Amino acid sequence: MVPLEGGTMPTALITGASAGLGRALAAALVSRQWTVVGDGRDAAALDSAAREIGFTAVSGDVADPAHRAALAAVAGAELDLLVNNASSLGVSPLPPLARYPLAELENVYRVNVFAPLALTQLLLPALTAARGIVIGISSDAAVEPYEGWGGYGSAKAALDQLTAVLGVEQPDLAVYAVDPGDLRTAMHQRAFPGEDISDRPLPSSAVPAFLRLLDERPPSGRYRAADLLAAG
């Protein structure tokens, strides 16, 4: 995405920007002279990332309506990019669905499905004004039946479908569900407690795939970072 009319630089809101993929995306956009607003539940970690990278931090839980309202207020009247990145893995170690605590599953859906939709609804006027882009962070667990991943995977599948329908209903926006692949993040480590996940690539390795979406703005749909990188 290039500078807007009058030299104004584009604005992005990234949830879960204190670590992992969200932090890596924030750093990449700031390096491109974007204005970035990031949120996160860990205020200290978010503030540290914001100071290091140079974005505006708004700490809080995206599942909280008051926090979403605060994000909308900071984002302003026009928003070029919303990245629904914040998510909850759920119970660790990952339990089979037959024993999944339903209260925990409700929380996974609250964070991974309802919160992104609620935030998108709130920001639609600003996104529409900018003919913006919405990205929902997906997972291969949304389409593959991995043992133990029924909670997280089904929530991501629901987010994929919401994202797909939003793309049809909002033709002036570009709406993408993006599977970044397995990455070396704290959440992924929680899915494999006690295991060595150092063979997974760092989150920054997936960032060029997202930048390609922003630069080329293909049709709304579901994309795999690996495919976007291979096609580059």
What does the pLDDT read at residue 23? Answer: 96
- Residue 203 neighbours by CB distance under 10 Å: 20
Quickly state the pLDDT bin for 187 (edges 50, 70, 90). Answer: low
Q: Which residues are catalytic?
A: 152
Question: Which residue range is the domain that position 78 belongs to?
Answer: 5-231
Residue 220 has pLDDT above 60, yes or no: yes
pLDDT one-digit tens code per residue, 166-185: 999 999 999 999 999 776 66
Which CATH number do you get for residue 187?
3.40.50.720
3-state secondary structure the chain: CCCCHHHCCCEEEECCCCCHHHHHHHHHHHHCCCEEEEEECCHHHHHHHHHHHCCEEEECCCCCHHHHHHHHHHHCCCCCEEEECCCCCCCCCCCCHHHCCHHHHHHHHHHHHHHHHHHHHHHHHHHHHCCCEEEEECCHHHCCCCCCCHHHHHHHHHHHHHHHHHHHHCCCCEEEEEECCCCCCHHHHHHCCCCCCCCCCCHHHHHHHHHHHHHHCCCCEEEEHHHHHHHC
pLDDT digits (tens, 9 = 90+) for 14-60: 999 999 999 999 999 999 999 999 999 999 999 999 999 999 999 99
Q: Residues 92-117: what's their mean pLDDT?
A: 96
pTM: 0.93
Q: How many domains does the chain have?
A: 1
DSSP output for 207-218: HHHHHHHHHH--
Q: Which pLDDT belongs to residue 6?
A: 41
**Percentage with pLDDT > 90 across the chain:** 84
